[in-house]
Structure 1
Amino acid sequence: MTKRIMRERSLRTSAMAGAIACSVGCGPAEDGTASASGATGVTGVTGVTQGNTQGSMTGVTGVTGESTGTDSDSGVPTSSGGVATDDPTAGVTSNDSSSPKLDLAMADFGAPPTGDGCTKVDFLFVLDNSISMGDEQQNLANSFPGFISTIQSQVQAQDYHIMVIDTDDQDKWGEKWDKCHEKCMTDDPGDGCLTVYFPDIICGMEPPPPEPCDQSLGAGRNKGAGGPPVECPVDGGLRYMTQDQADLPGAFDCVANMGATGNSNERPAEALLTALGPQTQAGGCHPGFLRDDAVLVVTMISDEQENGSPGTPQSWYDDLLALKGGNETAIVMLSLNGDAETMGQECIPTAKMVEFVGYFGDRGIIDSICAPDYSPFFQEAVGVIDYACDEFVPPG
């Protein structure tokens, strides 16, 4: 099995800040507004020409190189340039551990593994459930069977925990019923609830009392979209799946298609840290999900800026690292994020998420959520996971 990953489209940990060429985006923003600015000059794969990312993106060229602007959201210097080089260390690098480990060249995993290797992997999918995310949820579900099949055939670890969480703490069934009840005040109580988003709710129905974990941030999901919610066939009454799950692709499809009725103020970073902190402890919603002797693979999927979580990308990284005992070899960070603000006319990177993923260095990959198929992204991620598994140094 080769350990040299020549990833021509990544690592994207900083290159994503301007390197995605958008001619067709994900669709309108949730507020329905439009913008006149646009993306121009995208000619390369890695190497970023970037000024202030709040406006339009211009002049993405070259392979590596560096000039500096400022990211208006995070204040982190951005890099750009158009000087081609074969030096794999060229680009933006830093010996300061407090800065993102950004590398605009191809990652070289040619050195032999130095760790003990892993036998377990914990997969956490942090999935935006706001109104614009229906297609993306289905895209993830469609890509999962090929992803997990490749993991099973290429990665030495065969003991898995697999969990999906959303990005808010609201009880969706209760919200649906409230909307339906308002409509039913003027409709025949025997008719269906005549609303655009909730056609499956019947007038006069009382919602069942929600389970506490169904309205807890960071809780693993065991239900799909619907009113009432669909009970997903997750074995053992758990809120995460294992390698022994019956019909693993089918169960994953059910929990990943969670519906798009969540709060538009997404909190993916807070949900991530809550899921791996209090929720995985005794008394939490999914105790035992996070294991000290497993590699953690996080996939964060959202088409909006991260604006709701407290803290900064640096503090999110520090807190996540602490949850894995300070072991940098124990985490792989994958991210699919929005790159089109409105009507497919503007490429704007999600600056905070780009910075966050950047701290993971060669173990971080970021790509466009607007891609029509996530399979290439996940197939590429397998190589990173495989190498991370080989490099893993278990605690103790």
Structure 2
Amino acid sequence: MKPNIINLKKIIPPGFVSILFLAALIVLFLPGCGQVNPTYSLLADQNVFKQSDADISNKLDILWVIDNSGSMGDDQQNLADNFESFISSFVQKDYDFQIAVIPTDTYRGHFLNEPERAKFRGFEGDRDPTYPIILPGLDDVIAIFQDNVIQGIFGSGDERAFQSMKYSLESNYNQGFLREKSFLAVIVVSDEDDFSHDGATVLADYDNPDLHPISHYTSFLDGVTGSTDYIKRYSVSAMAIFDEACEASNDFGYIGYRYKEMVEATDGVLGSICDDFASTLDAIQNRIAELSTQFYLTRVPDPATIIVIVDGKAVPEDKNRLNGWSYNAETNSIFFHGSYIPAQGATISVTFDPVTIKE
């Protein structure tokens, strides 16, 4: 006996099969009763990073811009005495760092036709120091920095930290300092604000149209670091005067309004020269470590599903950004904080449920 075979084409009107197929799809994706915001089950994704991989770099290029005017002697010494608070974590975690120092009157080389002023400096502004760039393999990193940071007090009172930074980083004398895919950290130490402009004369006037806008320098930093709106490879921090009480305690000091604007634009750290230098330096190094070790995800995650593993151990989430990991939706990246900042060679695994279907 032959089996009964039903011919659907004879029973179901033409075109109705397509309608049934469409209805099946609608039922498949239809949310349950009472669900206002439907969610769909998607396959979990995982991003694995190696801290020493070429695309995940922990290279740090650190440029200190030190005010060398007459009122800065004590502040320079204070910085030297507390430098260990800044560098210790980078050494312990085996970061590939470079450290150089310039004074805030470096820019004068442009107007005096003395391009060698752009060179990285040593003790008392020496333009040919033994170690113009401090590297992790040197025997005594702290002692070398303590020498180099003492820039003296006979520099110009026309402080132009940003113009000096740009002039130095553009100079052929310092080629090789900025490395591909490294993170550039600029740290300004000054008791007077920046008044960078194109002229050679003093221009301590915030309303002067010739004063360079902060965007002039963030655009420059974007270019030399290969940064984009999505990935920033630099920050600017400042140890300066940021309130009237500190200003009153410094006879020749002024509030650093432009420093504050630059720091906030680049996610750096504001540190007062009237506060404890060790605490400020620790905060600066921690922020640099956070920014330089953020990991960009390949897909947008559901934040509630993120699991972070470093070298096989779970890392706790910390939305207060103190000790653990946090997710930044604007950059779609994972940040590490405090004792959980990964060391050189660490393997980082980030598992999550994506919010969109992978194409």
Deviation string, structure 1 residues 80-105 (Cα, Å, up to 9, x no partner):
xxxxxxxxxxxxxxxxxxxxxxxxxx
Structure 1 residue 329, shift from structure 2 partner: 2.8
1:127–1:167 Cα contact (<8 Å) kept: yes
Q: Which structure has more helix as a fraction of its residues?
A: 2
Q: Where in structure 2 are the equivalents of 1:1-396 lying within 5 Å? A: 117-154=56-93, 158-169=95-106, 216=117, 218-221=118-121, 223-225=122-124, 232-234=129-131, 239-276=132-169, 278-279=170-171, 284-310=172-198, 311-327=212-228, 328-339=231-242, 340-344=246-250, 349-360=255-266, 363-371=267-275, 373-391=276-294
**CA RMSD of superposed structures (Å):** 3.2
Give the counterpart letter for 2:83 in structure 1.
F
Distance 1:120 1:264, change over 3 A: same
Whole-angstrom CA distance in 1 between matches of 2:84 and 2:72: 20
**Code of the aligned partner of 2:65:** V
TM-score normalized by the length of structure 1: 0.51
CA contact (8 A) 2:58 2:293 kept: no
- Determine the C-alpha separation between the residues in 2 that align with 1:142 and 1:113: 40
In the TM superposition, residue 243 of structure 1 has moved relative to its aligned partner by 1.2
Q: Greater strand percent: which structure?
A: 2
| Structure 1: runs of 5 or more not aligned | 1-111, 173-211
Q: Distance in 1 between matches of 2:269 and 2:279?
A: 12
Q: Give 1:368 deviation, angstroms.
A: 0.7
Structure showing greater Rg: 2
Moved more, 349-358 or 307-316: 307-316
Cα distance in 1 for partners of 2:250, 2:142 equals 31
Structure 1 runs, 4 residues or longer, greater than 4 Å off: 112-116, 229-232, 342-348
2:162–2:217 contact (8 Å) kept in structure 1: yes
Q: Do the aligned residues in 2 keep the contact of 1:240 with 1:286 (CA within 8 Å)? A: no
Superposed displacement of residue 113, structure 1: 10
1:352 deviates by 1.2
Classify the secondary structure of the residue corresponding to 2:174: coil
In structure 2, the CA distance between the partners of 1:286 and 1:346, relative to structure 1 (3 Å rule), is closer
Q: Percent identity?
A: 25
Deviation, structure 1 residue 382: 2.8
Q: CA deviation at 1:383?
A: 2.6
Secondary structure of the equivalent of 1:341? helix
Aligned partners of 1:128 and 1:301 also within 8 Å: yes
In structure 2, runs of 5+ residues without a counterpart are 1-46, 199-211, 297-359
Q: 1:307 Cα deviation (Å)? A: 1.7
